[in-house]
Structure 1
Amino acid sequence: MALHAGLLAWMRGWTPWLTPQPPVPPETIVMIDLEPPPEAEAQTLRPEISQASTSESLPAEEAAALPDLEVSEPAPLPDSEAPRRAYSDAPAPPSAEEWALASTYPLKNSKRYRYNWGVQVRSLMGRAYEGPDQGMVRFRVVIAPDGSLAELETLWSTSAMAEALARQAIRQMPPLPPTPTGEPLVFERTITFGPNDAEMPPIYKYDCEPDPPRFRNPYVWDGHSAQGPAIQPSAQPLDPQAYAECLKQLPPDSIEAESTNDQRQLERWKSHRLNVP
């Protein structure tokens, strides 16, 4: 029985002592002595760390007697390797002809006049660089009937530099033509001072269309009138003759204005559910 048990154990590999084992190589331990760098090289590589560690290890009298180490600033990189900031040049100011056309365009609260005013301000602000000074500022502007500035109020601003440059540009603006309606022109305008935002012309082909009425909640009760849903006012169509006369005032839209309008509509109405980039 012992003989059979030994054979069975040998067949199943339960007896490692019966099979020869490979010799175990002797373990080799290598000792490496690292020499500290010279004192001069340590001060040259990390002068601030070397001085701090020396001051902590020496007494106060000896540390005070140590000479101050001179740390030289790194040499500037060549122009090919130096980082460059993005910038945007100021747009060209509106010409005298453009101002003359704007002073005769009363549609949509003197739309062309307001656009030229914003371009004139931005052109006087100069080049805009990428950085902490870029930003936007929104003004509430009142233009007198003779074209002079009657009131200027800052509604909000994201950059003190942009607001200061815009106000300086407004003070330096040349005399403007009279307003198209002969009445004070009141509007709000956002001036963008940055490298990635360009002043694009507006689109005029819809200026003869009547403005949609302002929405009112039909279920709001004022407390004294008859309760019930209020009737929403509808847009009143223009007289055909007045509409034809209005169409004659519309200037032709440029390709830049059309592309800007398309991009604005895409950003407003795009949805990730429609897989629109």
Structure 2
Amino acid sequence: MIAPSARPNRMPQGLAVGVSLAVHGLVLLGLARLSFAPSPPSPAPPKTTVLLMPSLSAPQPQASPAPAPVITQARQRATMQRAAETPPPRTDQPPATQAAPAAPTAAEWAFAARYPLKNSKGYRYSWGQQVRSMMGTAVAGPDQGHVRFRVEIAPDGRLARLETLWTTSAVAEQRARLAIEQMPPLPPTPTGRPLVFERTISFTPDASDGPPVYRDDCLPDPPAFRNPFVWDGQGEPPRVTRVPAAATVADRTTEGLSMEECLKLLPQDSLEAEAAQDRRLRDQWDSSILGR
């Protein structure tokens, strides 16, 4: 008995084609899914914080100061020689001057001799005007200045005492003393008693001493300020007591005259007197403002 020959088992041709098509379909389907699948979102870039800092530039080296020029002795001598040879600048403008005021008239001296109010106010003014009128013209320069005297006039009008309190110019003091020695005879004092007062003579081109104002001379003097706490350190300290303001007013300012009699003595103030009073008040206020 002959055995059949061994042959390999072959897959039917139709089945093989079907398997091949199925495998290719699966491959194509996988590729289609991979191509049309949405790509995952890309991760957001990390946030960075930027700090604005001032630029710290390197400090610039400071230039060293230029050395001071060396002035030799020869150069200094030459400079001094040129300064000595250079003539001073010429000034065509003359220095300021003020002519001597007119001396009091006989009528003004007659009024001063009978006006006793405020320590013979008219007599004191006329005396100062007489002295200044005899001193001559004041010229701006080293000779100008002021001098203040303490004066005592005897009841008959003679000079009893003359004392210099202070002065800013020896020439002004010398001129004033010479004028006082050469003064004409003066009338008697209004009160018949010695007249003691202080007077400043201004020998300057800008002096503005004018006639006084008499309209308030019948009013009592305001109380003078006295510090009640002043103590020289010897003995017991003073006891502070309050004094009424009315009791400090001296009634002797009117020399025992009634108000009606006093008002009859007052002269009519001139425009020059009013202008001089305004200047004195303005100078007083200006000096107080500058002293603050």
Q: Distance in 1 between matches of 2:98 and 2:276?
A: 18
1:125 alignment partner AA: M
Determine helix, strand or coil for the equivalent of 1:90.
coil
Code of the residue aligned with 2:282 in structure 1: it is L
Tell me the TM-score normalised to structure 2 length: 0.61
Give the equivalent residue in structure 1 for 2:58.
Answer: none
Q: Which letter maps to 2:243? A: I
Contact 1:141 1:189 in 2 (8 A): yes
- Structure 1 CA distance, aligned partners of 2:220 and 2:238? 30
Aligned to 2:22: none
Given the alignment of the two structures, is residue 190 of structure 1 paired with residue 206 of structure 2, yes or no?
Answer: no
Cα offsets for 1:25-49 (capped at 9, x unmatched): xxxxxxxxxxxxxxxxxxxxx9x95
* SS at structure 1 position matched to 2:172: helix
The structural deviation recorded for 1:257 is 1.0
Using a 3 Å threshold, how does the CA distance of structure 1 residues 103 and 236 change in structure 2: closer, same or farther? Answer: closer
Q: Is the partner of 2:218 in helix, strand or coil? A: coil
- Structure 2 vs 1, CA of residues 93 and 244 (structure 1 numbering), >3 Å: closer, same or farther? same
CA contact (8 A) 1:102 1:113 kept: yes
**Counterpart in 1 of 2:133?**
123
Extract unaligned runs of 5+ from structure 2.
1-77
- Report the CA distance shift for 1:84/1:272 in structure 2 as closer, same or farther (over 3 A): same
Residues 69-148 of structure 1 mapped to structure 2, 5 A cutoff: 82-148=92-158
1:228 is displaced (CA, Å) by 5.0
Structure-1-length-normalised TM-score: 0.64
| Cα shift at 1:244 | 1.2
Instruction: Give the C-alpha shift of residue 104 in structure 1.
Output: 0.3
Match of 2:264 in 1: 248
Provide the aligned length of Structure 1 versus Structure 2. Answer: 203
Question: What amino acid does structure 2 have at the position aligned with 1:217?
Answer: N
> Which residue of 2 is the match for residue 263 of structure 1?
279
**% of aligned pairs identical?**
57
Tell me by how many angstroms 1:259 deviates.
1.7
* 1:205 counterpart letter in structure 2: R
- The verdict on how the C-alpha distance between 1:231 and 1:167 changes in structure 2, with shifts beyond 3 A counting, is same
Distance 1:112 1:209 in 2: 16
* CA RMSD after TM alignment: 3.3
Q: Which of structures 1 and 2 has the bigger CA Rg? A: 2
1:136 alignment partner, SS class = strand
1:230 aligned to 2:246?
no
Please report how far the alpha carbon of residue 219 of structure 1 lies from its aligned counterpart in structure 2 after TM superposition.
Answer: 5.1
Give, in whole Å, the separation in 1 of the partners of 2:229 and 2:208.
43
Give the secondary structure class of the aligned counterpart of 1:125: coil
Alpha carbons 1:203, 1:253 under 8 Å: kept: yes
Residue 249 of structure 1 aligns with an amino acid whose one-letter code is: L
2:174 maps to which of 164, 174, 198: 164
Is contact 2:228–2:238 with CA below 8 Å preserved after alignment?
A: no
Find the counterpart in structure 2 of residue 14 from structure 1.
none
For the residue of structure 1 that corresponds to 2:265, the secondary structure is: coil
Q: Following the alignment from structure 1 to structure 2, what is the Cα–Cα distance between the partners of residues 182 and 236? A: 20
Q: Which amino acid aligns with 1:112?
A: G
The amino acid across from 1:264 in the alignment is R
Contact 2:209 2:276 in 1 (8 A): no
1:17 equivalent in structure 2: none
